[in-house]
Chains A and B, each alone.
Chain A
Amino acid sequence: MSAIADSASILDTSRVLAQHQAAVILLQGRLANPAVGLIRWLDLACGRGQIIAHLNQNISEQGRAKLEYYAYDIDNQGLRTAGKLATRLNLANHNITTGDIRSFDNAYEKELRFDFVTLTNSVHEVNSDDIAHVLVDCVLRLSPDGQLFVYDMETLDPPELGAVPWRGDDAARIVTALLGGLGSTDYRPEVGRWQHTKTVGWNVTLERKHIKCSPEEAADRRPMAIMQTAATIRAVLQDRLLRCKKALEMLTKFGAETKEESDERTRLLYEFWAISRVLEVKS
């Protein structure tokens, strides 16, 4: 996540964000399965460990003892905080790895598969060029029963320079392209949209067992899946840039008539900058 200069993650254990709560609830379900002895969880772009900060209260000691936690993020103080939190939880094991999200797949042994992968509040920070292969690699890293949980915000308050927040319907198009590239055309995971106080969040949960291809086939189809996903991302961005320009033209002509519209104008300007930058780099 090299392009976003002013993103910020906060750790406030006194309140639980809905997306972190959702991740912990999904984990609870998996850990409660008596047939399962170990759950490998990759917390991609884990920030300050905002999800594991809530494990102590919400997952029993027995449950935590079944959990192998892999945290991955760029080298920063936040990752060290996540490591400290993990140390105190008596997990089966934990592994803290630093690196750019683009190369997370290289950080782990080739055969390692995860039962649970989380990517929360981070997609907007990933360079748009890299989203396709990050998402495809997340899916390819899933165990046969593995689950990828993605959650992000449609708008940022305050906006972050260079960040591209995706909307739920963008995410639906991107995921459909990804699954199509892997040869799974009948699997349509739900994309939820959730009203927060100041924004709307979206989520998608991908289940590996519904993607009907073997690990070998998936590996073979990886380049195609990345290519199709990247092409869809580019098409979505071009579409958004066009609409963004039109909206800005109208606001230039008529002005903002409500505070809401004035705030939208600011967001549009951020969006215009972020998307034109991405498309400019690509062209």
Chain B
Amino acid sequence: MRIYVAHEVSERGLAVGFMQIARDLGHEIVDPLELPVTGEVPLGGIDLYVAIVSPRSNSVYFELGIVAAMRKEILLLARNADSVVDQAAAFPYLVIGEDVFHVEDEVKNALERALAIRNSRAHAHTSIDKRLDALATAEIRNEVLLWFSGHGASVEKDVTSSGGIAHLPNGESVVIELKTWPPQGVVSVESVRQLRSYMSTVGATRGLLLTTGSATRAAMELASSEGVMLYTVNELLGSGSLDEVWKRGSWAGKGSGKKNKDGSDT
């Protein structure tokens, strides 16, 4: 896999350490400081964009915005949580402290997970994904609600939700919540918690959290224990019927190589 390692010169030490770990795993590294001064930065051909960020990483954050718009997989590495600006808070990140080798296992896990998600996304990049790439959040919401109405549900855009409510022919109600920005953003526990709370309020029997990105392991497990289904938007739109959606169960991003904090497999 080709991994681009964005960093400021001041973070060169951390970057070199990370590149060594990634090379040892057999990945090809694109080091921006080794690129010719003139010529194009080869962002188009990379599989993963790793950014070592600090509050002063202006050029890295600028480049991150471009890469996000290109729908590339992203992993942030930071000395501490405060190094990540709010606008980048939904991207996967790893706090590495002062020495990347002290957290080598965590770095390897994070890399493995990022690349597994990238592979599943690349593998499943269907015509639906290509169409979604061009749509704004409101348009994706309309597509989702149209999908439900096309399968016999009556739908309403609820003011307290960024999705809507679908009333199914069998009398059940489904609260639908969309997380579409940034496109490769990661659904976290709070989204699951909010949806579950909202389900109680409106008396819905099912909750469906849809993302164009992925979900953290904690969010996936919480969703599973709270009766919330996690799906990617394209999985839903590619489904042939409501039954197919319920039978398939929650999101396919499970088992993508993430390990528990104690190092055991999930």
Contact = CB atoms under 8 A, between A and B. Distances in A.
Interface string B245-266: 0000000000000101100001
Interface of A, secondary structure class, is: helix
A243 B193 contact: yes
A58 to B, nearest CB: 26
A240 B196 CA distance: 10
Given A169-B201, A260-B89, A190 B159 contact: yes
Given A168-B160, A169-B160, A250 B218 contact: yes
Given A251-B189, A259-B84, A191 B160 contact: yes
A173 B261 CA distance: 38
Chain B interface helix/strand/loop/mixed:
helix
B226 A261 contact: no
A247 B81 contact: no
Contact of A253 (B78, B84, B202, B218): B218
Interface string A179-202: 000000000001111000010000
Contacts, number: 108
A129 interface: no
B254 to A, nearest CB: 12
B197 A246 contact: no
A12 B72 CA distance: 42
The residue among A251, A263, A268 with the most chain B CB atoms within 10 A of its own CB is A251
B239 to A, nearest CB: 27
Contacts of A246: 222, 225-226
Contact of B222 (A167, A172, A247): A247
A167 B190 CA distance: 12
Contacts of A191: 160
B147 interface: no
Interface of B: 76, 78, 81, 84, 86, 88-93, 159-160, 186, 188-190, 192-194, 196-198, 200-202, 216-219, 221-222, 225-226, 258, 260-261, 266
26 contacts: A169-B197, A169-B198, A190-B159, A191-B160, A198-B86, A246-B225, A247-B190, A247-B192, A247-B193, A250-B217, A250-B222, A254-B258, A254-B260, A254-B266, A255-B261, A257-B218, A258-B92, A258-B93, A258-B216, A259-B84, A259-B90, A259-B91, A260-B89, A260-B90, A263-B81, A268-B189
